Structure formats: structure tokens, C-alpha cells
């Protein structure tokens, strides 16, 4: 098993981020309260009652949207409107200053509502109201301070007048279909805007010149291109900058270091930045999160990062950094998460400088580098945060309420949106060149939940001290050179749900009982000296090197069971799917127990086809042609199937088809679950749809790809009923495709067995 760990874009905020000295409180955090002055203004009460009648007459967009009647039951003519749910009044004047209509269906109504009779409105929450457009009446609300239009299927551009609302401080239009900006030249200097969230839209082009007053800026999950403009460096109050999952390129501007004393969060994850990290961090550095994962950064990690004493999350994974282990980061007293995976880091890790190095570290991912030498015994011996529960170890970001999310493959499944406030304790040193034995002291890391030491050159016996890791949920020691027996004491790991000891030199009887009774053959394969359940080899029998028909059948039946992660060739990003490209993976010739990586491919010539001579071979040829004629596969992928028929390894063939269907099945399930949530989880749906489009089952699968395109079009049109219908049709086509492939594989297996 390969454990993948990554700090993921992007941020989930509670629900507004503002400095501690600010008196601004978002409407979503306010509630009705007693008033020192008179009761609510009668004209404003009349307007609200008319609004209730209009809303009550409107039907919910779907069964997932609550009825307005149930939400507005407190809006009664004989009661004070200042006590109504969703209504906030001024404590002295009793004027309505806040209105929360979230999750009401305002489609076709919003511009007919006479908000001008609520002249003192300051805060307007229209989240998930099925608007379709930015309401034009908003530009006439001169005193508006907070406007939340998130999750509303809004198309088009952000209009010019938004930037010219002089009192507007908070604007959230995330999770819509906005595709551009209209920022007038005067806006950067007239606006009072402090919070701007346009996450998860369809924004294209370069980042415009935005108001210099902004302190929170999120443009994450869009289609922005070009470089980071120098104008961002003039935002002297900028505290959080998030542009993850875009197509921004060029070098990271050096001028951003000017903002080092104000920036708390910088997230440039998953863009196309190149060059070295340009900053010389000063003692005024205020960073708490620095996420540059998934770019093309080169050079070394700047030692001036040691000035960033408040740094809690540092993610430089999936770049091209060429350096040795940055031991000096151990001086950062608050560092919880260090992700350096998939770079060109090399050499031994060495010993810590002091006994206080990396005291707070809870996640260390050094996987897929070129580290050598023994495992870092010195660091393992002093990691306090993995030994004892430290007070205040949760992630509280100073005067900002902030939650960062991560994704981790744990328990054999990828878990998205894991709150870093309840962080896992993870040690991942996989895919390196470590050698020697696992030190006994590793058993002292009693809070460890995920341990991955796979794909190294580790030797010796598996230490019994691992049994002291009583919270461990995932243990991967595969593809090493361990010898001896599996310690019986590991039966005490009652939380263990993933175990991979495959491809070692283990011998003896597999422990029986507790969690070990739940593990399949995959956990132990490639250890010819092992015997006992779940292996077919009995401990009193001579090893039979031939796979039985029953074993082959179990692999084939795995096409309909949960995903087998030992075969997963999964990318390190979210939002941009990697999938398994069948046209390449078909000729991946590494042995299952080798230490070779993804670059080790051998391409076979396409013309080396076997002539269909037997009746079964003729039937296979007919089935291939049928898949093409019915639109399930294009011509190129039919050729791939034909090439597969020459493959002698039945297990390899069946694994390919498992991979070919698994990711797409998972994405379809995720879309369906997002559609069933209340309110509908549009960001997850959109993300999963694009992952599905890039998944292996859609590549070359013409019919399925067409259904996916229809699904995405209906989603962008905002027609949820058609989305549901097209999803059901897609599921049916996918099931048919899967059924046909299963039949094809069974017939291919029969043909090969008859030829042996």
C-alpha cells in the first residue's frame, strides 16, 4: 500500500475572517436579541411580511431545499419582527440591519423584492437561494456592509458596481459559475472591501487590479492564467492569499516578501510556478501556513524560513527542489505539518541539533525522495507530539478563525476534507533509499496513526515494539527486505484496518485473531515463506508455486468489491484528476514486488497481435468489435484490448481492468452523494465531475464520455433535474460497460487456460 498525504486546497473559514480588533460580525454569526429602544419599524415589518408571502408561494428548487413555510414560522404579524428568525435589528433604533434568507428559493423573485423599504440594511445573506445572477437591486443598498451570494449558480462576470459599493466590506460569491471580472480603474482606491471570496468559479484570464484594502483574498479553484500581479504586493493589509488550483505561472514575485509581516496564509498550491523560492524571510515573518505544493519550484529550501516562528504548516511537496534534509526547520517551535514529498531531496537525515527539534510535529511526509542511510533514530526518539498529547496542539491561527483541510489515504481509502484541527499523526518515509533496521524506539510514538515505510531497503525483523502503537490504523512495510516471522504481539493493534507486509522475506505462520482476521492475501503476497490464513498455503504443506483457479477467480471478482489500493497509481492533487491511462499502463512491466517507480515503463509494439485461431479467440474478436460498434470503446482502445490478449500474466490482465473501472465508480458514487446532501454540495459535485471526465473509464470509452459531457453541461446550466436524469443514464451505461468488460475478461481467461 502506498499512503499519500497532502495538505489540500483549500480553506474552510468560520465563516468570516477578520482581525481581532474588528467589530464586524458576519450575519451568519448574529442572532436576534432584546432591544433597548422601540419595537421594529412598521413599514419594515410590512415589507418582511410581504417577502414571507412571496417566499411561501414559491416552490423549493428541490426536495433538498427546505420549505420557506417551515423556516419562516416565527414571522408572525402579531410579534416583533426584531425577534424573527434571520432578522437582525439595530439595538437602539430597531431598524432592520441584517437579513438571512439562506436556502430559500428566490429564483425569479429576488429582483421583485422591494429591499428599498429596508433602507438601513447592512448585512444580506442569500446563500444557496438559486439566484442565477447577482441581484441588481444590491447596487442601490448604499449602506450594505456584508453580502454573501455563495452557492447560487450565478453566471457571467462580477459586475463593476460591486467594486464601487463604498461601504461593502465582505463579499462572498464562491461556488458559482462566474467567469470574469469587471473592475473599473478607480475601484482599487475607492473600495472598502476587506474580504473577497471567489473560490470555485470559472474565472478565466489574469488576476485584475483589485482593491488595495483587501485583507482576505481567495481565488482558488478557477481557471486563472498569467503571473501574480505586482498590484497584490500593494495590499498592505493582506493576511490570507489563496490562489490554489489555477493555471498561474511564472516566478513567484519577490515583492510578496514585503507582505511577510502581514501574511498569515499563502496558498499557491497546484499552479505552474517555476524557479526558486524568492524570499529572504525576515524576523517579522508572520506566516502560519505556506503551501506551495504541486508547482515546478527548483533550488533549495531557504534557511531564512527559521525566522517564521509562527509557522505551523509547510507544504513544499511535488516540486523539483534539490536539497538535503532541512534539519534547521526543527527550530520552528510551532511546526505541526511538514510535507516535502516528491522532490529531489537526498542524503542521510542525520541527527537533531537539540532535543527540542520538531517538538510539535504531527505529520512528516518525506516520501518519494532519495534519502539514504538509516531511519532517523534521533528524531524518532524526541518527537514529543507523537508520544504524548500536548496542550494547545490544535491549530488555532492567532486572531483568525481558520480551518485548513487535508486529504490522506488512510484505512485503504482516500479520505478528503480531514480537518487539520483534529489532525492525524502520520509518518511517511516511503519510496526512498533508507536501509538498516527499524529502531525499537519507534514503538514510543504512541499517538502515531499512520506509518508508511514501504519501498525502501530496510532489513532485519519487524520489531515487536510496533505493538505499542495502539492507535495505529494503517501500517505499510511492503517492498523491503524484512526477514523472520510476523510478531504475534501485533495482534494488540485493534485499530489497525490496513496492513501491507507484501514483497518481503517473511516466514512462518500468520498471526490469527483480532484485526488480522480481516486482512486478505494482498497484505502478505510476495513472502514465499508465509503460511496460514488467509493464504491458501497451509503451514504443514509444501509450497505450491502455481496459482489455483480459485485464486484467479477471486482477483476477477474483485472488480465488484472495494478498491484495492495496492494497485492504485493515484496522483498527488485534488481537483485535477490523474486516473489510470489504460493506453500506457497496459505495458507497465514492473513486477509487483519490485522497487521500481512510475518511470519504469516498457512499451510493446502494437503490431504483436496473436491471430484469432481458436473458437474462444474468435469470440473475443467479435466482442472487441461489438464494444467498438456499440460506442463503448474507440478504435485505439480496441487495439489495446487486442494487445492485452497476448499478455501471459492473467493477474496482470485482471488488475488492469480493476484499475480501468475503479476510479470512475468512486467518482460516480461521490457525485450521487453530493446530489443527495441538503443543501446540494455543488463544489464537490463539480470537482468529482471533472475528475470523472479525466478518469480512466472515460478515456477511450466514447459512450461514457459523451454521457459525462451531458452531465457537466446540465450542471453548468443549473438544471438539477436534468443532472439527476443524466447521472442515472451515466450509471446505467457505466454498469453495462463494466458488465461487458467482466465477460470479456472471463472469456479471455478461459481462452488462455485452454492454451496452456
User: For 137-166, what is each residue's pLDDT tens digit?
Assistant: 888 888 999 999 999 999 999 998 898 888
Region 198-208: mean pLDDT is 95
Lowest-pLDDT range of 253-257, 283-287, 416-420, 741-745: 416-420
pLDDT tens per residue, range 289-308: 999 999 999 999 999 999 99
Please state the φ and ψ torsions of residue 592, each to the nearest 5 degrees.
Answer: -65, -25
The reported pLDDT for the residue numbered 652 is 57
**DSSP β-ladder status, 5-13 and 402-410:** antiparallel
- How far apart (Å, rounded) are the C-alpha atoms in residues 702 and 710? 13
Tell me which DSSP letter residue 28 carries: G
pLDDT tens per residue, range 95-123: 999 999 988 888 777 666 767 788 899 99
pLDDT tens per residue, range 656-703: 565 556 667 778 888 888 888 777 777 778 777 877 776 655 555 667
Whole-model pTM: value is 0.69
CA distances from 250 to 279, 310, 568 (A): 15, 28, 32
The reported pLDDT for the residue numbered 403 is 41
Asked if the model's pLDDT at residue 731 lies above 70, the reply is: yes
Lowest-pLDDT range of 53-67, 452-466, 538-552, 683-697: 538-552
Quick one: how many helices (H) and strands (E) in the chain? 13, 34
Q: Note whether 649 and 749 are within 8 A (CB).
A: no
The reported pLDDT for the residue numbered 664 is 76
Lowest-pLDDT range of 47-56, 333-342, 584-593, 712-721: 584-593
pLDDT tens per residue, range 499-527: 999 999 999 999 998 889 889 899 999 99
Asked if the model's pLDDT at residue 582 lies above 50, the reply is: no
Greatest mean pLDDT range, 25-39, 60-74, 628-642: 628-642
Domains annotated on the chain, with CATH: 566-755 (1.20.120.160)
**DSSP β-ladder status, 313-315 and 337-339:** parallel
CA distances from 271 to 246, 358, 399 (A): 5, 29, 29
Task: Report which secondary-structure segment, H or E, holds 498.
Answer: strand 498-500
Banded model confidence at residue 649, pLDDT cuts 50, 70, 90: low
The reported pLDDT for the residue numbered 644 is 64
Amino acid at each position: 500500500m502506498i499512503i499519500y498525504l497532502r495538505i489540500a486546497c483549500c480553506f474552510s473559514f468560520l465563516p468570516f475572517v477578520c482581525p481581532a480588533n474588528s467589530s464586524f460580525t458576519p450575519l451568519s454569526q448574529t442572532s436576534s436579541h432584546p432591544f433597548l429602544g422601540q419595537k421594529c419599524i412598521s413599514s419594515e415589518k410590512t415589507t418582511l411580511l410581504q417577502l414571507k408571502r412571496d417566499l411561501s408561494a414559491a416552490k423549493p428548487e428541490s426536495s433538498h431545499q427546505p420549505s420557506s413555510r417551515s423556516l419562516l414560522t416565527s414571522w408572525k404579524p402579531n410579534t416583533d419582527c426584531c425577534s424573527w428568525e434571520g432578522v437582525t435589528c439595530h439595538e437602539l433604533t430597531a431598524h432592520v440591519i441584517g437579513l438571512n434568507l439562506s436556502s430559500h428559493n428566490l429564483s425569479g423573485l429576488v429582483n421583485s423584492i422591494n429591499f428599498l423599504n429596508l433602507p438601513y440594511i447592512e448585512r444580506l445573506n442569500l446563500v444557496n437561494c438559486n439566484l442565477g445572477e447577482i441581484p441588481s437591486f444590491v447596487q442601490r443598498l448604499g449602506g450594505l456592509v456584508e453580502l454573501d451570494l455563495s452557492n447560487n449558480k450565478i453566471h457571467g462576470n462580477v459586475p463593476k458596481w460591486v467594486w464601487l459599493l463604498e461601504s461593502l466590506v465582505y463579499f462572498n460569491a464562491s461556488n458559482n459559475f462566474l467567469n470574469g471580472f469587471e473592475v473599473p480603474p478607480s475601484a482599487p482606491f475607492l473600495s472598502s472591501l476587506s474580504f473577497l471570496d471567489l473560490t470555485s468559479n470559472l474565472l478565466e484570464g489574469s488576476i485584475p487590479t483589485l482593491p488595495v484594502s483587501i485583507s482576505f483574498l481567495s481565488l482558488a479553484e478557477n481557471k486563472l492564467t498569467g503571473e501574480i500581479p505586482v498590484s497584490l504586493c500593494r495590499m498592505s493589509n493582506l493576511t490570507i492569499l489563496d490562489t490554489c488550483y489555477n493555471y498561474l505561472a511564472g516566478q513567484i514575485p519577490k515583492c510578496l516578501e514585503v507582505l511577510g509581516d502581514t501574511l498569515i496564509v499563502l496558498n499557491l498550491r497546484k499552479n505552474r510556478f517555476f524557479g526558486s523560492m524568492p524570499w529572504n524571510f525576515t524576523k517579522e515573518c508572520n506566516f502560519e501556513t505556506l503551501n506551495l505544493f504541486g508547482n515546478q519550484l527548483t533550488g533549495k529550501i531557504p534557511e531564512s524560513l527559521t525566522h517564521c516562528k509562527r509557522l505551523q504548516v509547510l507544504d513544499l511537496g511535488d516540486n523539483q527542489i534539490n536539497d538535503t534534509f532541512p534539519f534547521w526547520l526543527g527550530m520552528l517551535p510551532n511546526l505541526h505539518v511538514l510535507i516535502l514529498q516528491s522532490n529531489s531531496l537526498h542524503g542521510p537525515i542525520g541527527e537533531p541539533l537539540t532535543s527540542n527539534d520538531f517538538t510539535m510535529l504531527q505529520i512528516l511526509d518525506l516520501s518519494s525522495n532519495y534519502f539514504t542511510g538509516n531511519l532517523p533514530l534521533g528524531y524518532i526518539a524526541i518527537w514529543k507530539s507523537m508520544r504524548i498529547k500536548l496542550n494547545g496542539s490544535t491549530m488555532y491561527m492567532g486572531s483568525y478563525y481558520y480551518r485548513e483541510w487535508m486529504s490522506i489515504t488512510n484505512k485503504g481509502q482516500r479520505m478528503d476534507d480531514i480537518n487539520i484541527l483534529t489532525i492525524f499523526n502520520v509518518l511517511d518515509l516511503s519510496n526512498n533509499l533508507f536501509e538498516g533496521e527499524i529502531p525499537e524506539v519507534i514503538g514510543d510514538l504512541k499517538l502515531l496513526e499512520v506509518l508508511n515505510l514501504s519501498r525502501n531497503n530496510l532489513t532485519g525483523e519487524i520489531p515487536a515494539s510496533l505493538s505499542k502503537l495502539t492507535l495505529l490504523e494503517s501500517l505499510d512495510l511492503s517492498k523491503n527486505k524484512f526477514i523472520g516471522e510476523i510478531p504475534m504481539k501485533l495482534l494488540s493493534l485493534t485499530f489497525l484496518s490496513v496492513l501491507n507486509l507484501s514483497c518481503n522475506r517473511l516466514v512462518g505462520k500468520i498471526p490469527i485473531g483480532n484485526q488480522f482476521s480481516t486482512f486478505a492475501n494482498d497484505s502478505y503476497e510476495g513472502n514465499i515463506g508465509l503460511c496460514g490464513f488467509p493464504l491458501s498455503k497451509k503451514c504443514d504443506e509444501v509450497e505450491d508455486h502455481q496459482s489455483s483457479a480459485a485464486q484467479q477467480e477471486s482477483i476477477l471478482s474483485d472488480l465488484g468489491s472495494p478498491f484495492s489500493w495496492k494497485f492504485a497509481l493515484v496522483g498527488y492533487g485534488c481537483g485535477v484528476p490523474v486516473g489510470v491511462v489504460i493506453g500506457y499502463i497496459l505495458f507497465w512491466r514492473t513486477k509487483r514486488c519490485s522497487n521500481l517507480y512510475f518511470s519504469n515503463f516498457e512499451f510493446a509494439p502494437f503490431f504483436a497481435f496473436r491471430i484469432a485461431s481458436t473458437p474462444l479467440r474468435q469470440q473475443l474478436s467479435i466482442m472487441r468489435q461489438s464494444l467498438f460498434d456499440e460506442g463503448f470503446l474507440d478504435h485505439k482502445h480496441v487495439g489495446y484490448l487486442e494487445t492485452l490478449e497476448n499478455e501471459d500474466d492473467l493477474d496482470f490482465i485482471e488488475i488492469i481492468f480493476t484499475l480501468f473501472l475503479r476510479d470512475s465508480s468512486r467518482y460516480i458514487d461521490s457525485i450521487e452523494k453530493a446530489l443527495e446532501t441538503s443543501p446540494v454540495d455543488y463544489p464537490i459535485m463539480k470537482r468529482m465531475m471533472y475528475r470523472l471526465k479525466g478518469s480512466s473509464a472515460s478515456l477511450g470509452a466514447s459512450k461514457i464520455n459523451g454521457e459525462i459531457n451531458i452531465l457537466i453541461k446540465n450542471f453548468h446550466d443549473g438544471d438539477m433535474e436534468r443532472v439527476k436524469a443524466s447521472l442515472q443514464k451515466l450509471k446505467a451505461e457505466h454498469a453495462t460497460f463494466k458488465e461487458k468488460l467482466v465477460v470479456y475478461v472471463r472469456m479471455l481467461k478461459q481462452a488462455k487456460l485452454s492454451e496452456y
